[in-house]
Structure 1
Amino acid sequence: MAEIVLFHSAHGTRPVVREAADRMRARGHQVHTPDLFHGRTARTVEEGRDLKEEIGHEELLRRAVTETAPLSERGLIYAGFSLGAAIAQNLALADVRARGLLLLHGTSDLAEDATVDELPVQLHVADPDPFESSDWLNAWYLRMRRAGAEVEVHHYPGAGHLFTDPDSEDHDPEAAERTWRIALDFVAELSD
């Protein structure tokens, strides 16, 4: 069994987050789904961006740390969708006990001096992705490897940015099922 913290996208805690948590729980994992927007949701990417800007990046990170700090002693797997993936990455790289990092649809910048001890990282991303260009992903991959992470990247040609979200216009059922098959195996490998 693994203990997982799963962060929502800029759309907030929508059904896709609960469904993903249920998939993981069905495999015996304990899953926490912090609501960093405190109940607010966004219908569009633009609304999500506005909500993120209104709350502020630092406040979102503060909320995420507040939610996860009491759990971090247990060796968490950090996971997230898009914006939530960026938050998960920031927390995982700062947590020496992190057991893994599952990124769905997003990444975050990292400091040049970032270091981790062979942190397993799995990224699932559309190809092409309007928010994660090929140049960005190549540079991100190299920086993560240089930091000491064990990174695997799974590309989904023709899928939209939030392809695992059934409520998104980007939804791609085939790519979503493939993602979950691979991601659940990854989490199982990191379990006790």
Structure 2
Amino acid sequence: MGAPHGETSVPVEFSGAEALKRAFREHPAGVALITAQTEDGPVGLTASSVASVGIDPPTLAFSVTRATGSAGGILGADSYLVHLLDARHADLALSFAVSGAERFTAEQGWEQLDTGEPFLPDSRVALRCRTLHSLGVGSSVIVVAEVLGAHFGASETPMVYHDRRFIPLPAVDPTR
């Protein structure tokens, strides 16, 4: 974080992985939940790396840290859902960010689409996708996915991931 208003900050240098982690820890990002159905059951993970890529074809991108566990299930699935989350889903985002936490419970409101993917009907949008390209970078995988369709729900207070926390964004009246 920067210096308090009116004070001068002293630059601190970091390098390599520590520099990247520090820079993006303080850079707000949208929050998504990516889910897929595998032979072993439903899998899912919280992602803050989802970004729109283009409209011809309609594509988005995201990255996962490793190709095992839930990430491996998503990477191996024919299709998956990318749910864009609101502040009402902060607890759910946390559950899917922590290994071993309860997932896909009835209390969380999960359903299954006719195409098989685990679906959160009260998310503001769930984009049904399939992988077009993937690129391994060290222990991470970058995925470019085609958007096949979308299920839209009600939109509520936006949420971002910042400094290891899920934070709701207050509405600001632009006419003030």
Normalization by structure 2: what TM-score? 0.25
Normalization by structure 1: what TM-score? 0.24
- Greater RCO (CA < 8 Å, at least 6 residues apart): 2
Structure holding more strand per residue: 2
Task: Select the structure of larger CA radius of gyration.
Answer: 2
Structure holding more helix per residue: 1
